[in-house]
Chain A
Amino acid sequence: MGEKILLANIDIPGIRGFDVYRANGGYAAVEKALLEMTAAQVSAEINRSGLRGRGGAGFPTGLKWSFLDRKSDKPRYLVCNADESEPGTFKDRYLMHHLPHLLIEGLIISSFTLGVNTCYIYIRGEFKYLVGILENAIREARQHGFLGEHILGTDFSLNIYVHPGAGAYICGEETALLESLEGKRGNPRIKPPFPAFKGLYGCPTVVNNVETLATVGPIVNMGGDVYAKIGRGKSTGTKLISACGNINNPGVYEIEMGLPVEDFIYSPEYCGGIARDKYLKAVIPGGSSVPILPADLILNTAKGEKRLMTYESLAEGDFESGTMLGSGGFIVYDEDACIVRNTWNLTRFYHHESCGQCSPCREGTGWMEKVLYRIEHGQGRMSDIDLLVRVAKNIEGNTICPLGDAAAWPVASAIRHFRHEFEEHVLHPAAVLEKERSLIKFF
C-alpha cells in the first residue's frame, strides 16, 4: 500500500469546499510558508524534495525556479499549466475537480516563493465546468484571507485568475501556452529566450503543471527531506497515474514511485488486470507521445530486471527497449488491439494538433498520417514502412517544439517493436480488414 500524499483526503465528503478542506489540515502549509519561512527556505525545501515536473518532461522543479530572472524590475508571473490534452492523461482534471484547494494552496506558496503577485491558471477550454469549481475555490480562499492584498497580514499579495483555452493541444507546450494567454494563436516560441527571462508579456515567468504545483503544499508540510525519502532514487515522492485502455479499473491512482509496472497493471488496488481476461499486448506508459512497449519489455527491461514506475526505470534501454514516464497517462492494449490502427489514430491526432509553424512537423505529420492510413486500409506497400521510419527520423529533433518528437516517437517505436503487424497489413490486407473494422470489437 503506497503512501498517499495528494489524494490522501480525496474521499472525505465535501473536501472540495473550503471549510471541510481547512478542517482537514488545509492551508496549514500556506500559514507555515508565509508566517514561519522565508522564500529562500521554501525554495530550499523544494530543492531537497527532489520534486520533478509532472507535466511530462520531469525537469527538477527547484532548479527551474532557480532560473527565474530575479534581477529584472519587471513583474514576475506564475502560470499553472492545466491544459491537460495529452491522450491518456486525465489526472489534472481529477485533481482540480476534487481538490481545487490543494492546487490553490500550491499556487499561493509557489507565488510567495517566486515573488509573484499575479498567477494565471491556463485551463483547456473543454473543461469549462472546472472553471466554475476553480473560481469558486479562489473566491473562498479570498474570503478567508488567503488571497488578495496582505495575505495573513504579511506584505505578500496575490491574485489568481483562471484563463480558458479554446481547443488546441499545442497550448500545453509552455511557450504556446503563453502566446495563447496573450490572446494569440498557439504558436510555440523560438527558444531562447526562455520564459524564465522573457515569458508572459516579456516578463520573467515560471510555467508548472497542476500536479507539480499541488505537490508544493504537502512538501512544505512534511519537509523536503521526508518527501525525498518516498519513492526511489531520483524519482522522489508519489505520482498520479491516469490509467486507461483495456484494463478492469481505469482511473487515477496515486502511486509511490518505484512500484513495479507489473503490480500496477495486475494489482486489484490499481488497474486490476486486463479486461475480459485477455492478454496484455502493449503499454504506452506516459501519455500518447512516449514510445509504446510490448508486454515483455514493459514488465521487464531488456536486461531482465523488473521495470518500475520511475523516470529512470521506464527509460532504461533508451528508445531501443525503453520508454518514458512522461505525464503518467498509462494506456494499456490487450491482444485484440491493432497496433497499426492505433498508430494511425495517434498520428492523426498530432497531424490535427500541429500548429503548422515549422516545416518538418507541419508537413511530416500529415505525410505520416497519409501513409499510415493507407497501410491500415489495405493499400500499403512494403516500402511504406521504411518510409515512415525515415520521415519520423527527419522530424525528430529538427522542430521548434517537442510536438514534432511527440509525433515521431509513437510511429518509430510502433514499427520498432511491431514491424510484423505493419508487414501483415501490407501482405494480407483483405484478411486484416476482415478481422478488424475498428480498433476493437466492443459491443
Chain B
Amino acid sequence: MKHSNIINHPQFTREGRPVAFSPNILNKVQSLMNRYPEGGQKSALLPVLHIAQEELGGYLSVDVMDYVAALLGIQPIEVYEVATFYSMFYLDKMGKYVIEVCRTGPCAISGGEQILAHLQDVLEIQPGETTPDGVFTLKEVECLGSCGTGPVMQVNTEYYEKLTPGKVDRLLEELREYANKNKPGDSTWVKKFC
C-alpha cells in the first residue's frame, strides 16, 4: 500500500434523478422502522442503506441517499456522514461482483497477501479498481471474522475460505460465466461455491 499524503475524496453531485423503492420493499422498510421505538426511526438507517444499496444500483448515489433521508425524516447530511463512515457502503459504481480480500494479520500469515497479489495479476487491476468489463471490483478489507479458515475473501455477501490461487481461478471462471448468463446490471448474488 502506498502512502499518499493527499486526501482526495471524490466530489459528488446531486443529480435529482427520481429514485424509489418498489411497494414491496417499502413495506419491508416500514416494518424495519417499526422495530425501533417512537422517535428512534433513524435507527433503521443502516439496515435501510443496505437495502438501498442492494436494490437501487449497487451503490449509494447522492439521490439514493437523499431518498433514504426523506423516508426516515432526517437531514441528507446525516446520511452522508453515515454512508462515508462504514466500509460496506459504496459511494461509486461497483463491479457486479465485489471481491473483498482480507488483508489482516491472521489471514496474511496463512497466505492472504499472495491471494491478493494473485487477484491483482489475473484481473489486471489494483485494489479499489473495477475490471473494464464491469464484472469485478477488487477491494482490500480488514478481518472478516473468519481467521481460522484463512485466507478469506468475501464476494458480495458470500464468504470464500481456505483460498489457494487455484481455487480463486476456478471461482473467477465460474463467476464470469454466471455474469454472462445474466443481463448486465441485475443484482443476482453469487451462488455458494466452495
Residue positions of A touching B, CB distance < 8 A: 75, 84-90, 92-93, 118, 124-129, 159, 161, 163-169, 180-186, 201, 242-246, 250-252, 288, 329, 331, 333, 337, 341-342, 345-346, 348-349, 352-353, 355, 370, 373, 438-440, 442-443
Contact = CB atoms under 8 A, between A and B. Distances in A.
B107 to A, nearest CB: 9
A355 B86 CA distance: 10
A394 B107 CA distance: 30
Interface residues of B, number: 51
A342 B113 CA distance: 12
10 contacts: A84-B145, A86-B143, A182-B43, A183-B72, A184-B78, A250-B148, A342-B109, A345-B104, A349-B105, A443-B114
B142 A93 contact: no
B19 to A, nearest CB: 20
B123 interface: no
B82 interface: yes
Interface stretch (B8-16, B44-52, B129-137, B180-188): B44-52
A442 B110 contact: yes
5 closest A-B pairs by CB: A183-B45, A167-B87, A166-B86, A167-B88, A442-B111
A243 B35 CA distance: 36
A90 B117 CA distance: 25
Contacts of B110: 244-246, 440, 442
A85 B45 contact: no
Interface hub of A87, A127, A159 (most chain B Cβ within 10 A): A87
B82 A246 contact: no
B58 interface: no
Given A87-B142, A90-B148, A349-B142, A342 B105 contact: yes
A161 B111 contact: no
Interface stretch (B21-29, B157-165, B171-179): B157-165
A337 B107 CA distance: 12
A373 B164 contact: no
Contact of A185 (B82, B106, B109): B82
B145 A90 contact: yes
Interface of B: 1, 3, 35, 37, 39-40, 42-47, 49-50, 72, 74, 78, 81-82, 85-89, 103-106, 108-111, 113-114, 117, 141-150, 154, 157-159, 164-165
Contacts of A342: 105, 108-109
Nearest to A187: B85
Contacts of A159: 35
Contacts of A180: 46
A93 to B, nearest CB: 5
A167 B141 CA distance: 9
A443 B162 CA distance: 13
A443 B147 contact: no
A165 B50 CA distance: 9
A184 B142 contact: no
Contacts of B46: 125, 163-166, 180, 183
Contact of B149 (A166, A250, A348, A373): A250
Contact of A75 (B37, B150, B154): B37
A324 B168 CA distance: 36
B72 to A, nearest CB: 8
A125 B109 contact: no
Contacts of A186: 85-86
Given A87-B106, A88-B105, A345-B108, A438 B114 contact: yes
Contact of B143 (A182, A184, A349): A349
Contacts of A125: 46, 50, 86, 88
Nearest to B81: A185
A428 to B, nearest CB: 22
A169 B141 CA distance: 11
A182 B117 CA distance: 39
Contacts of A353: 142
Contacts of B154: 126
Nearest to A334: B109
A62 B146 CA distance: 30
B44 A183 contact: yes
Contacts of B85: 168, 185-186, 355
Contact of A443 (B1, B108, B164): B164
A440 B1 contact: no
Contacts of B49: 166
A126 B149 contact: no
Contacts of A166: 46, 49-50, 86-89
Nearest to A126: B144
Nearest to B41: A183
B87 A168 contact: yes
A439 B108 contact: yes
B88 A345 contact: no
Contacts of B159: 129
Nearest to B79: A183
A201 B41 CA distance: 11
A89 B142 contact: no
Given A333-B109, A442-B111, A89 B145 contact: yes
Nearest to A333: B109
Contacts of B42: 182-184
